[in-house]
Each structure stands twice: as C-alpha cells, then as structure tokens.
A and B are shown apart, each in its own frame.
Chain A
C-alpha cells in the first residue's frame, strides 16, 4: 500500500501511529501537521489509527478465574516447587504434559460419540434407573461396567487397594495401545474430508484411536464403547439392537439417548487401579504389553497413579453416570467439588473427606489399557458421579502428542446442577466450548441431536456457531 503513496506520505507514514497518539513533538509534529493539512489520505490514516487505538485501549482485561489462582497456589506447594531447583526445573514428564490433553481428547470423543449414539426409545431408558437403583451391588467381574452404578461414596476400600496392591487388567500390546496403533486413526479422522458424512462411524474410529484398539475378548469394544460402558444393565435388548443398528447407519436421533448397545459390554476388571501412594507419584512405566485381554484379576504388575498437583484437574471431560443412564461431558470445576472421591473399578483410590480441587488420574490407565475412573463429587446438591475414561497410553510418541493436542478441550463450563432429569439424560455443560481446530474433525454436535436432546431433557439449547451449545433449564 505504502509503495503507491507519494513520497512525502511514505516518509511520514511511520510516524503516524505515534502522531495519532499525540506522542510526537517538536519539528516533526509540525511537519506532520502541515502535511496532514494538505493530504486527505494521511488525515484519513490518522483518523483510522485513532479509532483503532481507542478501540484497542478499550479492550477490557479479563478477570483471572478463581480456580486458576487456587491452582497456582497449589502448584507452588506441590512437589515440583518444593524442590526449588537452582536451575530450570526439570520438565514434567511427557506423561504429565499429556495427561490432561489426553483425558480431554478422550472426553471430547466421548461427547461426540455419545451425541451420535442412536437414541433408544424413551421407555427403555425409563426402565434403566429402576434396575440401577435396585442393584447398588458391587461390580460384577464379568461385566465390568466399572461404575454402573458407582459404589456408594462410603464404600469401603477393598483390601487390595488399601494395601497398595497390584493391579490386574486386560492390557493391550503397547504399540496398539497408544502408539502406532493409534495415530493413524486419529490422523485419518483429521484429514478425511468426507468425515462429516458419517459422523457415527467417524466418531467411533476416533474414539477407538483415542482409547486403544479392541482386545480379543470384546472385539468391538473401544473408547466409544467404553464411553458407554457404564450403561445401565437394564436396557432392553431390542433397544440395544436398534441402537447398534442406528449407530452403524450413522446415528439417527430418536428422542432420547440410549446408553450404548452391546459394544459397550466390555469387561474391565475391578481392581484395575490400585493406590500406591499419595502425592506426586510418578506413573510407573515399563509395564509392558500384557497380551490383550489378559485374565481379569490376575496380578499384572505394580501400578501407580499420579496426582496432578500442578495442573488443573484432569477430569475435564468425562462421561457422566446419571440416575437414569449415561451422560456426556463435564469439567470437574475445582470450585465445585467439595469432596472428590475417586473410584477405580470399585476401589476408592483417593480417600474421602479431603477438600479436593483435583482428581487422581491413574497412571495405570494411561499406560496400559483403556480404562475408566469413576469420580464422585459431593456437593450440597448431592453426589454427582462421573466416569472418566482414560485412554490407553503406552509410549507416547511425538505424533500422538500433537494429534492429541489438537483435540484438547477448551475449559468447559459449569456442570448443570440437576442431572436426573425426566429424560434421563442431561446435557450438562453450561458455557461449554469444545474447540474445533481447523475443522479437521467433525466434532460439532449434530444440531438435531442437540435439539432433541434438549427437548427431551426439558432444557433450552443455545448456540451461536453450531459448535458450542449451552443448555439451560427451561424457565
């Protein structure tokens, strides 16, 4: 632009911003003023600069989220800060850096999947809670659904957990778990242009990638399945079949969300995680590939989990187990959780009663197999129970880390208070923003699905961009 200007304009142009701000003085100021008097173009430039600067200066600073200050304080009292090394601090392990994004990515996938789940007839769903509440029994070994229903918060810690025991589980070969087995599916999902056409399938693939491929005992099981794992057991077969069929067809919306179909039935043995010890435990690595589908319950080496003390809660995306079925996503808002209890399988892996603004994320889940952690948040509104799925994570290559990163969730909003709605399914986030990066992955919630979901749940849905939906109770 400036190249086409008269020479004098070009010479003065660089001073115009400062002139517009009245920061030029003396002879230069006089020269500019003189030039402006005779040059409409430059006058216009100055006016434009002034308008721009005024607007810029009017941009308000954003308030610091309260949880952030708390998190900073926590991190300053964490193990890393305690070392207070003279040199640059040791970089957090790759695991640490990726834990949250991975959890988030998985959760996001779970959201996408859940919303694309075919919706079972309402009657089917309605029958679920009865069965659920009627059977608050310990988990069954064979049908795993680790947290369906969750053990009550006061559930005693099983001896194995208490003794800092060992875990067992159907581990997957490492390369399948997170590395080479996983990246391609993510990459494929990212780049395939027609992905939008088959939302159901695409979601399945992505989710599968995020959580590791199926093992022999449950060939179809994967993250989406896992996402639905905690589904009530009482969903009628017919509904399940319908659900499955619709799923493969790309997911039609029928009015209420079904807990998943048979694919969801994947056994995760109880005792999948065990408590090793408290804060700042590094995840144990080198627990290499047990054959897929190793016998549940068999000791498979020591496990550990890590308290993410320096970061925000890893539980930013999760599948929620409501009274009536399985719901979708949340962020465990630090200010919200009064007490956080974390169950893995049916074991409490974090003692109750601590004020917690964070959640333990089992390293076992990150390094061995797709698995889940159930989280109970107790608050004045009652206990909320979540199931957080962690992807299987073996060695994380660079490729995954970037791929995973791409799907990282923006901070999600508050969870809506009442999860037990008429429909059985609440879309529970307010102000949720699932960031969609460059449009590679069709993560936008299908509009119709959201609309029907909201309708069924007696919620109002708002969206400005078709990506982010806010659902609020109807007035």
Chain B
C-alpha cells in the first residue's frame, strides 16, 4: 500500500503515538496513506468530490476509532476497510448506475457525464502528445469499462490491479477468504476483458 519500506516501518510507531493522542503522528499517517485512500475512493465513488468527502470522513472515522484498532492486521489494511465502507456508503447515496458496455467511448456526455477519466488526462506523464492522447483514450476506456462491472468485482480489480494490494490484504479488507478473492478477481478480470473486447487494439497500442 505504501510506496516504500521506510514508510511502512514508520507506521506502527506512528499508530502507537497517535493512540496516545499525538495528533502530529496521526497527521503523518494521513500523509502517508492519503494517496492510496484517495485513489481507492475515486474508483469506488467514481466522483472526485465524493472521493474527497470520503477521504475526510474515512480519516475522521479512523481517528475516532483508533483505539479499536488492535494491530491484528496492518494499519493500512484497517484504514482501507474504513475507507472502503465510507466510499461504499457514499456511492450508494449517490446512486450512480453502472455504465453500459455500449457507452465505453462515451461520446454522449448526457449519459456519461464528465467524470474522472475525462479529467484524469491532465495527470498523464506522457511527454509525447500523440501518445498521451492514446494513453488518455486507453485510460478512459479502461476506467469506463471498470464502471460496467458490479461493485464487488470492481472492488477487487481496484484493490488488486490498480492499488496493488496482495490477495491476503484484500481478503482482510473485504473480510473474505483468500480463495474467494482469487476467484472473484479472476471472474472480474474475465468480465472486464469481455467488455473491453471491442477496444483491444487500443489497449495493445503502445502497451
């Protein structure tokens, strides 16, 4: 979850300090985990604003429930679970429907709305504009395809393929067995691939 080992090593001590009421320690925890939590929230809520709300809410809940964290799992995993719950609530409230496969290219703003992937191109690190455009398109199609999946399938793909969690971590976050994680992930990937079938050329281009 965290970018490097040094950060990972830092976490338990920070958690202990934060439990003792050290707010700066918790601030540091926020700093370390915010990117992962934010991106998770983005993918689950599918709305930037909701994701921001979700991040705030998640950290607030984590802060207030810190005493209940007993270190059985990694703090990151625990935080993920908190965030995922918040994001699910948020997504449910927003009531966004899954996209239909026919809407992947999204030329119809009425239906798709200017959502994350449209905005996301600015973050592209591709220097070459042409390649950046392809990468942008690829990303858009991919993320839209992701939105056609049912929630439980989307979640595993987000956690595994986008966020890089391990099977075990996902099992802890979702509170399901590792075997279930694997089978769910396989099914989700197959479904995603089927949805993306018409766009395979795009995916292969430059990848």
Which residue numbers of A lie inside 8 Å of B, CB to CB?
Answer: 1, 13-18, 45, 48-49, 51-65, 68-69, 71-73, 75-77, 80-81, 83-86, 88-89, 310-312, 402, 405, 408-411, 431, 433, 435-439, 444, 464-468
Contact = CB atoms under 8 A, between A and B. Distances in A.
B194 interface: yes
Contacts of B118: 464-465
Given A14-B186, A410-B114, A63 B123 contact: yes
A86 B67 CA distance: 8
Given A56-B161, A405-B93, A405-B94, A410 B186 contact: no
A60 B95 contact: no
Given A18-B186, A61-B39, A436-B114, 13 more contacts: A51-B203, A53-B161, A55-B142, A56-B157, A58-B135, A62-B39, A64-B38, A68-B34, A72-B55, A76-B23, A85-B64, A89-B64, A435-B47
A467 B114 contact: yes
B71 interface: no
B12 interface: no
B113 A435 contact: yes
A78 to B, nearest CB: 8
Given A63-B123, A410-B48, A52 B203 contact: yes
Given A59-B139, A68-B52, A73-B27, A52 B60 contact: no
B34 A56 contact: no
Contact of B193 (A49, A54, A71, A410): A49
Interface residues of B, number: 65
Interface string B157-190: 1000110000000000000000000110111011
B111 interface: yes
Contact of A409 (B23, B38, B49, B139): B49
25 contacts: A17-B185, A18-B182, A48-B203, A51-B203, A53-B189, A55-B142, A59-B143, A63-B123, A68-B52, A68-B55, A69-B30, A69-B31, A73-B30, A80-B64, A84-B63, A312-B53, A410-B49, A410-B114, A433-B119, A435-B113, A435-B114, A438-B97, A439-B110, A464-B118, A465-B114
B200 A72 contact: no
A438 B99 CA distance: 11
Contacts of B42: 62
Contacts of B150: none
Contacts of A14: 183, 186-187, 190
A60 B125 contact: yes
A328 B183 CA distance: 51
Q: Is the interface of B mostly helix, strand, loop or mixed?
A: helix
Contacts, number: 168
A58 B109 contact: no
A56 B135 CA distance: 11
Contact of B138 (A55, A68, A405, A411): A55
B186 to A, nearest CB: 5
The 6 closest A-B pairs by CB, nearest first: A439-B110, A465-B109, A17-B189, A51-B203, A56-B161, A54-B207
A231 B130 CA distance: 46
Nearest to A83: B64
Contacts of B48: 410-411
Contacts of A56: 142, 157, 161-162
A402 B95 CA distance: 9
Contacts of A465: 109, 114, 118
A80 B162 contact: no
A89 B113 CA distance: 34
A68 B34 CA distance: 9
A124 B48 CA distance: 40
B56 A55 contact: no
A311 B49 contact: no
B26 interface: yes
B60 A89 contact: yes
A62 B111 contact: no
Nearest to A442: B110
B65 interface: yes
Interface in B14-47: 23, 26-27, 30-31, 34-36, 38-39, 42, 47
